Amino acid sequence: MSIFSKIFGDPNKKFIEGLQPIIEKINSFESEFEKFLKSDWELNILKENKIIFRSKKSGVRGLLDFLQENGKQNGDVVIFDKIVGRAAALLTIYLGAKEVYGGIGSNTAAQVFRRYKIKFYFSKTYPNILNKDKTDLCPMEKLSLNKNPEEFYNLLSKNTKC
């Protein structure tokens, strides 16, 4: 052992010890996300590892309800959503999510998250989110094209009287 290691400690050991809280957080989220995927809930929103909002509504309605009731957040919420397409991605960015976990996610949602530097994880990824009979894009996905998060939220809130 070198004199520096005796005085300052092993830098590799300190680095690994520093990673431990991050590893524990990831393991905790993974467990919670697996429970969520098996539940009847379509959307869970967490803050400081506690569920602050839940919805059984499909599509983006749960996200809109949260925004109507709680407004934008300060980048300190985590989203669990069963299906995350471009429309949901824009709304989660608008509300201020720092991380998004989706059961199913689209390539277009992933592109949006990368552009806005939001951490995300999808169990399964598909090119697009389709409508119920799988003949075309989901109507919300079409509506979200060429919109930024604020433009998309304003469009929806005007049309749905949020």
Task: Give the whole-angstrom CA distance, residue 118 versus residue 115.
Answer: 8
Residue linked to tokens 């290691």: 5
How far the first Cα of the chain sits from its last, in Å, is 65
Residues in Cβ contact with 94 at an 8 Å cutoff, skipping those fewer than 6 apart: 67, 72, 149, 150, 152, 153
Q: What is the pLDDT along the chain (162 residues), one digit of tens a residue?
A: 555 555 556 666 666 666 566 556 556 678 889 999 999 999 999 998 899 999 999 999 999 999 999 999 988 899 999 999 999 999 999 999 999 999 999 999 999 999 999 999 999 999 999 999 999 999 999 999 999 999 999 999 887 643
- Supply the CATH classification number for the domain 11-160: 3.40.140.30
- Could you tell me whether strands 43-47 and 77-84 are parallel, antiparallel, or unpaired per DSSP bridges? antiparallel
Per-position b or e across 29-43, b if 16+ CB within 10 A of its CB: beebbeebeeeebbb
How confident is the model at residue 161, as a pLDDT?
A: 45
Q: Where are the domains of the chain?
A: 11-160
Q: In residues, how long is the chain? A: 162
Whole-model pTM: value is 0.82
Pick from 84, 90, 91: which is nearest to 107 by CA?
84
Q: H or E segment at 96?
A: none
Residues in Cβ contact with 75 at an 8 Å cutoff, skipping those fewer than 6 apart: 96, 97, 98
For 56, the 3-state DSSP assignment is: coil
Residue linked to tokens 């959307």: 43
